[in-house]
Amino acid sequence: MSTRLSVEQRRAQLIGAAIGLAESKGVSAVTTRDVARAAGVSLGVVHYCFENKDAMMTELVKALSMELRDSADQATELRAGVTGVGALEDLLRIALAALWHDVEASRDRQLLTYETTTYALREGGQTPGKLRIAREQYEFNDDTMADLLEKLRMATDTEWTLPLASLSRLSLAMLDGLVLRWLVDEDNQAAHDQLDRMASIVAGLAAPARGGGTGNGNGWR
């Protein structure tokens, strides 16, 4: 049986190796030679799959962002059928708790997402292409948050009082800050309390949909 991998499979293998190395030694210290050694392939294979380290880092960031999207997709598999702003707030709490469960289970991975951002920003002054790595990371995450907020809005027959893009940016900034603070102090109780406050703040920027919804503010409690 052939064990030859397709280019896409090989790229995924190399990205997995790069993530493991970056978690253990930091993004800036990872080299393509390290990745080749960790993956058990020649350096030529790495350069065949990726033009350079920046190209590999771009794909690494995409892989990390996809993990956030997968968590968000799971968080929207929620109970539906109750409408109004109160129901929206309850759904937000459930969704944020689901996302946070993955955060707590992957401390090193969360730290890596910040390291990839600071790496791109620091190196971007000398190589503008690297700045794009950070920008694409946040554009993707903005879209992920927007998709989550839109699904919750539709499930509860509500509407946002801010443009979705602005609300997504605000929500992601709050979540970003909570994760970074948790990485510093590892205070789980404080993080969960603040997630509840975040749900209240974001739900406060919603209203019953015009022409529909109960507007009674009743959740599931």
d(CA 140, CA 135): 9
Q: Tell me which range, 50-64, 66-80, 174-188, is most confidently predicted by mean pLDDT.
A: 174-188
Lowest mean pLDDT among 6-15, 61-70, 187-196: 61-70
DSSP letter string, 166-217: HHHHHHHHHHHHHHHHHHHH--HHHHHHHHHHHHHHHHTTEEEPTT-S----
Euclidean distance between the first and final Cα of the chain, in Å? 56
Helix runs in the chain, H state only: 7-25, 32-39, 43-49, 53-75, 85-104, 107-124, 128-156, 164-185, 188-203
Lowest mean pLDDT among 30-39, 117-126, 161-170, 181-190: 117-126
Q: What is the pLDDT of residues 100-112, one digit of tens each?
A: 988 998 888 888 8
Predicted local distance difference test score (pLDDT) of residue 211: 67
Mean pLDDT, all residues of the chain: 85
CATH of domain 1-50: 1.10.10
User: In the chain, where does the domain assigned CATH 1.10.10 lie?
Assistant: 1-50
Q: What is the pLDDT of residues 162-171, one digit of tens each?
A: 999 999 999 9
Is 80's pLDDT higher than 60? no
CATH of domain 53-208: 1.10.357.10
pTM to 2 decimal places = 0.79
User: In the chain, where does the domain assigned CATH 1.10.357.10 lie?
Assistant: 53-208
